[in-house]
Amino acid sequence: GAVVSQHPSWVICKSGTSVKIECRSLDFQATTMFWYRQFPKQSLMLMATSNEGSKATYEQGVEKDKFLINHASLTLSTLTVTSAHPEDSSFYICSARSGRGQLYGYTFGSGTRLTVV
Amino acid sequence: GEDVEQSLFLSVREGDSSVINCTYTDSSSTYLYWYKQEPGAGLQLLTYIFSNMDMKQDQRLTVLLNKKDKHLSLRIADTQTGDSAIYFCAARGDDKIIFGKGTRLHILP
């Protein structure tokens, strides 16, 4: 079945540095990828939607210059947290959607726990 | 690793109960979740259940957990047109959340 590999699964970085999270669809082409963020004991919050080859669409309140999303190919999307601060510490999950119309399915990565110290 | 399976489609008549089923493979999963996604929107946490519980009810929603069979279900009583959405089952062990592919709930008039 469809598999999405998200890497790394956890990362610790210093304030002010940048961190890149990768999301790869291993056996299918992901026409659309989604990036979510989850704070402790809260639901997932959609950060942005990216379609291959075009700029990501960010949700209201998400800083596009801080959370850089690149979806350069049908199998890879990256989220870069730039100039990270402790408040960026969170759990980030990607999701890839394959197919089009009513028959598409979603596959989620297993998440990345980011801790900024 | 953990695998979460759920059927992709469910059609239910308005006013009937909807039951969405899910199975998972990792018996050490501590939390099990149901998320709802409406068209064009992000995921919304509907409810969750701890692995040491077997039932949780919240208004029209009832979650049943059979830990022995690793089976989770979400029952929506008196299904309404606003319940039309995709419902995701998810299991969490350690720091990873594994999602099912989602069940699309279609409401028939």
Express each pLDDT in A88-117 by its tens digit. Answer: 999 899 988 876 544 456 778 888 999 999
Q: Are A98 and A104 in contact (CB under 8 A)?
A: yes
Asked if the peptide bond before residue A8 counts as cis, ω within 30 degrees of 0, the response is yes
- At A43, the pLDDT band (50, 70, 90 cuts) reads low
What is the sign, positive or negative, of the torsion defined by CA atoms of B103, B84, B48, A7? positive
Of A46, A107, A111, the CB nearest to B97: A111
Per-residue confidence (pLDDT) for residue A2, from 0 to 100: 72
Per-residue confidence (pLDDT) for residue A42, from 0 to 100: 62
Closest to B99 measured CA to CA, from A32, A110, A64:
A110
DSSP state of A101: G
Tell me how far apart the alpha carbons of residues A117 and A12 are, in angstroms, rounded to a whole number.
Answer: 7
Edge to edge, the sheet with strand A19-25 lists: A4-7, A19-25, A76-81, A67-73
Q: Are B12 and B18 in contact (CB under 8 A)?
A: yes
Tell me how far apart the alpha carbons of residues A79 and B38 are, in angstroms, rounded to a whole number.
Answer: 24
Interface of B with A in 18-57 (CB under 8 A): 35, 41-45
Q: Are B97 and A4 in contact (CB under 8 A)?
A: no
Within 8 A of A111 by CB-CB distance, chain B residues are 95-97
Indicate if the pLDDT at residue A85 is higher than 90.
yes
Of A46, A102, A106, the CB nearest to B102: A106
Q: What percent of chain B has pLDDT over 90?
A: 56
Per-residue confidence (pLDDT) for residue A102, from 0 to 100: 44
Q: Are A36 and A62 in contact (CB under 8 A)?
A: no
Indicate if the pLDDT at residue B97 is higher than 50.
yes
Indicate if the pLDDT at residue A82 is higher than 60.
yes
Place of tokens 């279609």: B106
